[in-house]
Each structure stands twice: as C-alpha cells, then as structure tokens.
C-alpha cells in the first residue's frame, strides 16, 4: 500500500494508473461503516484510493475540529488489510490556499444539517471537489448515513460535469442498532443508552410504514415521543430532493433525525 502525503505524489500515482479507480473520502478514525465503503470500492475497481483528511472548512466555530478523533496507525492497518492501493494523507497546507475560488452548495444545503451547521456543506464541497479533481476517480463511495451530503455532492457532480460515478452505500450499525460514527467515541455509557433511542425510533417508524401508515406528521409524532429526553435538532420526512413531504412514498422517501445526546450531536436516517 502506498502512502501519499502530497498532492504532487497523488497526481503522479494517479497518472501511473490504467483501469477503473475507486475513491473513498474519509476523515479517518475508521470503523466498519467506512470499511464497507472501502470493501465495495476494492471489489468494483482495479485500484482503490482512500483519503484521510480532517477537513477544517466543514467544521463550524463551536464544533469539534480540535478534538476530532485521530487514529492514523490503526487506520492505515485497516486500509492495508482491506487491500487498498493508496492512502492520501495530506496536511491542510497541501489542500488549501490563501487565494482560491470558493464553491457554494445549492439551496439543498439551506435546511436540516445546513441550517444547524452553517457553512458545513460549502466546506464539504470545497474538499470533495479538490479530491475528485486529484483522484479523477471512476467511482466514489459515500455513506447513506450522511444522506443530505450525498445529494449535495451528487448535485455538484451532475451540474459541474464531474466525470465520477457516485455510489451511495448502506448505513452500517452496531449490534444494538446505533449507526456507526467516528463521533460515537465521545458517548459515555449513559449517553450511549440514550443514543439508542434514535435508531429505535427509526425502527418504530419502519414498523408503522409496513403496517400501512404513510402520514408523515403521525410518524414524526411517534418518533418525537421515542426521542423524549434528547435535544432534538430536527425530525423530517423528505423526498429524494430533500423537500418535506406530507405522505411517505415507498422507495422515494427518507426519514431524517438529528439530536444531541449530552454534548454529542448525532445524525441518523432511514431510506424508505
Ligand atoms: P467521515 O469520515 O465521517 O467523513 O465519513 C466518510 C464516509 O463514510 C462518508 O461518506 C460517510 O457517509 C460514510 N459513513 C460514515 N459512517 C457510516 C456508517 N455507519 N455506515 C456507512 N457509511 C458511513
């Protein structure tokens, strides 16, 4: 496995390749959710590149940039065991410049995560655009866990004619249902028990839908009941354009939850 620290090295590595290239962008502290994306890429492409970069521009002023978990050695081991071909591990100075044009996310970014994390998606697009330009990936792999991020990146790729196919991947959960996240390490034992209310409420919503209940307000009320005790940022039911909908349409809808457990902000969702 090749470790690439500079953009120059990444460009040279990319230029040496023929055949399909799969790319998995991450911020590290890799878990089985990341690994599922990596495995898919390795399976579907001749070469796989993983990036590990804690992107400062997607963190708000009061967010956890300084304490975001770093596990470089373990991450490299995971990538190597998964047969990743190259890991791109740049410093901030490799990626950002004093004078550079900025990209602004479409109005898909005005609500939900974008409303609660001002500027977050502009930072995400800024780094993803650079990484897609550097890797010229045939396929890039994103988790459905960050559903709004996936659609905002897809909007950029489609409208800026970026020649990469995006692959949304299923959410990987712990046995108890908690969606895996690098931020789960912040949860105390007590927080973790409270955090389970989030995935449990999504399972309740699924059961209601299976029984034939499609009314969004009713489903949201049931979810809110189960989330009692958590500081809920939003519960929303949206279509694949992220417009809120009054009634669930099967295969076209996503139920979104964002809530704080203690000081940790968690997001989860289910695509129905
Ligand atoms: P991050 O390192 O948090 O920026 O995540 C890198 C990629 O992994 C993103 O596309 C995430 O959506 C994806 N990801 C994070 N957690 C999970 C999970 N539990 N299941 C599937 N994909 C995930």
Tell me, what's the pLDDT at 245? 98
**What DSSP line would sit under 102-150, residue for residue?**
-----GGGSSTHHHHSTTHHHHHHHHHHHHHHHH--SEEEEEGGGHHHH
Residue ID of nearest Cα to ligand 1 atom 18: 33
With the most atoms of ligand 1 within 8 angstroms of its CB, the residue from 33, 64, 150 to mutate is 33
Ligand 1 centre to CA of 265 (Å) is 15
For ligand 1, the distance from its centroid to the CA atom of residue 146, given in whole angstroms, is 7
pLDDT for 96: 98
**CB distance 85 to 48 below 8 Å:** yes
Query: For the stretch 4-42, what's the b/e string if a residue is b when 16 or more beta carbons lie within 10 angstroms of its beta carbon?
Result: beebebbeebbeebeeebbbbbbbbbbbebbbbbbbbbb
Q: Which residues pair with 51 in a beta bridge?
A: 25, 88
What the block records as the tokens of 212 is 């034939």
Beta bridge partners of 60: none
Summarize pLDDT for 31-44 with one digit per residue, the tens: 999 999 999 999 99
77 alpha carbon – ligand 1 mean position (Å): 18
With a 6 Å cutoff on the Cβ, whether 180 touches ligand 1 is yes
Its sign, for the CA torsion 68, 167, 119, 196, is negative
C-beta separation of 79 from 225 below 8 A: no
Identify the segments of the chain with pLDDT beneath 70: none
- Tokens, residue 203: 């399972």
pLDDT at 147: 98
Q: What is the per-residue pLDDT for 94?
A: 98
- Quick check: CB of 264 below 6 Å from ligand 1? no
Give yes or no for residue 40 CB within 6 A of ligand 1: no
What the block records as the tokens of 221 is: 């009320």
Answering whether pTM is above 0.95, one says: yes
């Amino acid at each position: 496995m090749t470790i690439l620290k500079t953009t120059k090295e990444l460009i040279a590595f990319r230029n040496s390749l023929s055949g399909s290239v799969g790319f998995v962008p991450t911020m590290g502290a890799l878990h089985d959710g990341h690994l599922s994306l990596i495995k898919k890429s390795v399976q579907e492409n001749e070469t796989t590149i993983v990036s590990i970069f804690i992107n400062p521009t997607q963190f708000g002023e009061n967010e956890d940039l300084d304490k975001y978990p770093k596990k470089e050695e373990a991450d490299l081991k995971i990538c190597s065991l998964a047969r990743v071909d190259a890991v791109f591990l740049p410093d901030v100075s490799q990626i950002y410049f004093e004078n550079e044009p900025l990209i602004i996310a479409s109005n898909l970014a005005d609500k939900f995560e974008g409303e609660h994390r001002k500027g977050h998606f502009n930072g995400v697009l800024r780094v993803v655009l650079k990484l897609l330009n550097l890797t010229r990936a045939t396929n890039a792999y994103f988790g459905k866990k960050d559903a709004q991020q996936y659609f905002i990146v897809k909007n950029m790729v489609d409208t800026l004619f970026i020649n990469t196919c995006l692959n949304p991947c299923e959410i990987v959960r712990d046995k108890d249902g908690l969606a895996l996240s690098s931020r789960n390490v912040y949860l105390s034992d007590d927080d973790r028990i409270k955090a389970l209310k989030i995935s449990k409420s999504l399972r309740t919503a699924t059961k209601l839908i299976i029984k034939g209940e499609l009314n969004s307000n009713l489903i949201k009320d049931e979810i809110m009941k189960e989330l009692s005790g958590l500081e809920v940022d939003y519960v929303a039911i949206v279509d694949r354009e992220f417009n809120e909908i009054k009634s669930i349409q099967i295969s076209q809808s996503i139920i979104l939850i964002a809530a704080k457990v203690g000081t940790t902000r968690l997001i989860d969702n289910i695509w129905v």
